[in-house]
Amino acid sequence: MSARLPRKIPAVISFPPESARQDAWGWMEELSVSRVRLLTLCVLRQDERLFLNFSIGGRRLGPAPARIARAEKDGDGFFRAEAVFTDEVFKRELSSAILRALAAAA
Amino acid sequence: MAPLLSLLCADAQERSRLALLAGEAGYGVRSAGRLEDVLELLGGRRPDIVLIADAEKDDAAAHAREILRVSPTMPVVVAAERRDASRAVELMRLGVCEVVPPPWTRESLEACLDKSVRSAGTAISLRPLPKRRRVPAYFLALAVFLALCFGVLSERHAAQERARKAARVDSWSAPYRHPAGLDFDGKNLWAADWFAQSFFVHALPDLNIVRTVHYTNQTPLDILFAQGASWRLSASGVITRGLDDQDLTPLQKYRTNPGTVSMAYDGIYLWTLDNKHVLHKHILDVDLTEIASYHCPDPDPTAVVYDGRTLWVLDSSDRELVRLNLNRPDEAVGYMPLPEYADGRYRPAGLAWDGRNFWTIGERIPHGAGPARIFKHPTLRVGS
């Protein structure tokens, strides 16, 4: 079961302290329980670890630990990245949030 | 037509800076210092996108909210004065399409504006998202496809080349039976036939006979074209220098060693080969003075030629070309076998060089049992 929301979900992208990077932001183009596709002006690299904060259906989620599985720069200069959620507890929480959003969208 | 951008920025300096950047990014800009001016614009010619500068005194969130209330589908981009991810996401939740982080550059502004003009909502799903076909896989598939195409094409080309090579004619039958010498005049191939007492002129590439020069009182053995003249060798051992004209008009005669069978010219000296296997070196004076002689290293030399670098001798018994040391012609420095004569049907009798290939003429064995044959030899590797 899937749906497309009328607007994209924005997300705060933060990085582990050791990477010494400022927080950034981006859009979630596609979101599932285990992975998310991000669109951001921030530079992302494969295997980079990050945390995502976002809201879905009015419910705030995160910080969700994730790892960049693949990242590429598009023609506009944005980075399109696919991130894999690495925390199982968060995945369950996300699953229930998505179910509620899907129910609302139905 | 450039997309129209409505710019809202209270600070005149920042406004002109943003207008310049947006203009460089390819947008037609209408600047405004107050929200009311932008809302008025929305009522007239509707802009394609609205850009709001966020500042402490000038809250972009309030402006964006008001613009989206009046025009809910209008893409709104905020140029943030400070880098604050929470603030950016808050603006994006309000409906702002993109937040341009500071410092504002043409690249970042253009990327955000372009991206905002084409925006869609987030797709959500419980199942994992279908994997996108990866670009490397595309390239891999394309590379495999191209490699296959290249392989097929190159195999076809090789097959065509083999067929062309198999169909290529590199030997021709001649209408005379007793060839004695061969030479190339820069355009045609000249063959001497001692029995017919004639020179036969073959035109390349199909070796049609285009001319015959007959002598009633002498037996031609070889001919050479050098220094703008023709040099005819007859069986009596006389070399006749003549014009390079239609009749080979004779100019001077030289008496050389009896039994001379072939001639070559290396650009300075005239070389003659006799039937005792001796090479004679002559200077081109009035007497064609011999200045040196060398014994040929191969068993049965029948013709000599100069290929622009060194002398070559045709060995009729071993059926090969022998490369000689030009300074010491009694020393062989290479051998080039002639597989065309491997079947033993012909005996090589004359040799010529056309600048790229060797040509030989063969006499049918036994002597004159059939028409002579002219062979064009491919460039072969020389064995030592």
Segment B176-219, tens digit of pLDDT: 999 989 998 888 889 999 888 889 999 888 888 888 888 888 88
Q: Is A24 on the interface with B (CB under 8 A)?
A: yes
Average pLDDT over residues B5-27: 87
Q: Strand pairing partners for B192?
A: B181, B199
> B171-377 — its CATH code?
2.130.10.10
Domains in chain A: ranges and CATH: 9-105 (2.40.10.220)
Q: How is A33-84 classified by DSSP, letter by letter?
A: SSEEEEEESS---TT-EEEEEEEETTEEEEEEEEEEEEEEE-TTSPEEEEEE
Portion 54-93 of A in contact with B at CB < 8 A: 54-56, 70, 72, 76-78, 82
For B175, residues 6+ apart whose C-beta sits below 8 A from its C-beta are B200, B209, B371
Q: Which chain A residues are Cβ-neighbours of B99 within 8 angstroms?
A: 25
User: What pLDDT digit, counting tens, does each position of B279-324 carry?
Assistant: 899 988 888 888 888 888 877 888 999 988 888 998 888 888 888 8
pLDDT at residue B382 in the model: 54
Q: Strand pairing partners for B358?
A: B353, B377
Of A14, A32, A53, the CB nearest to B127: A32
User: What pLDDT digit, counting tens, does each position of B60-112 carry?
Assistant: 888 888 888 888 778 889 998 888 888 888 888 888 888 888 888 888 888 88
Q: Which chain B residues are Cβ-neighbours of A34 within 8 angstroms?
A: 128
Minimal CA separation from A67 to chain B, in Å: 15
Q: Phi and psi dihedrals of B242, rounded to 5?
A: -140, 175
Neighbouring C-alpha atoms within 13 Å toward the C-beta of A38: 33
Please determine whether the domains at B4-117 and B171-377 fall in the same fold group of CATH.
Answer: no
> Which sequence spans correspond to the domains of chain B?
4-117, 171-377
Query: Would you say A27 and B120 are in contact if contact means Cβ atoms under 8 Å apart?
Result: no
* pLDDT band per the 50, 70, 90 thresholds, residue B132: low
Q: Any idea which residue has 């932008």 for tokens?
A: B38
Q: Any idea which residue has 């076809």 for tokens?
A: B156
Q: Identify the closest residue of chain A to B98 by CA–CA distance.
A: A26
Cα dihedral sign, B303-B305-B310-B316: negative
State the Cα–Cα distance between residues A23 and B198, nearest whole angstrom: 100
Minimal CA separation from B161 to chain A, in Å: 46
* Type and span of the H or E element at B224: strand B220-226
* pLDDT band per the 50, 70, 90 thresholds, residue B384: very low
State the Cα–Cα distance between residues B366 and B362, nearest whole angstrom: 11
Of A25, A102, A105, the CB nearest to B99: A25
Of B89, B95, B115, the CB nearest to A25: B89
State the Cα–Cα distance between residues B85 and A26, nearest whole angstrom: 9
* Type and span of the H or E element at B231: strand B229-234
State the Cα–Cα distance between residues B296 and B323, nearest whole angstrom: 11
Q: Identify the closest residue of chain B to A42 by CA–CA distance.
A: B101
Of B107, B112, B122, the CB nearest to A8: B122
Minimal CA separation from A59 to chain B, in Å: 13
Of B107, B124, B134, the CB nearest to A98: B124
State the Cα–Cα distance between residues B354 and B150, nearest whole angstrom: 36
Q: What are B89's two structure tokens?
A: 């996401």
- Assign a CATH topology to domain B4-117: Rossmann fold (3.40.50)
Most distant pair of Cα atoms in chain A: their distance = 43
Q: Is A46 on the interface with B (CB under 8 A)?
A: no
Cα dihedral sign, B292-B295-B300-B306: negative
- Rg over alpha carbons for chain A, rounded to the nearest Å, is 13
Q: In 3D, which of B330, B366, B329 has the Cα closest to residue B347?
A: B366
High-pLDDT (> 90) share of chain B, %: 9
Minimal CA separation from B60 to chain A, in Å: 17
Query: Would you say B202 and B210 are in contact if contact means Cβ atoms under 8 Å apart?
Result: yes
Minimal CA separation from A91 to chain B, in Å: 11
Q: Which chain A residues are Cβ-neighbours of B115 within 8 angstroms?
A: 39, 76, 78
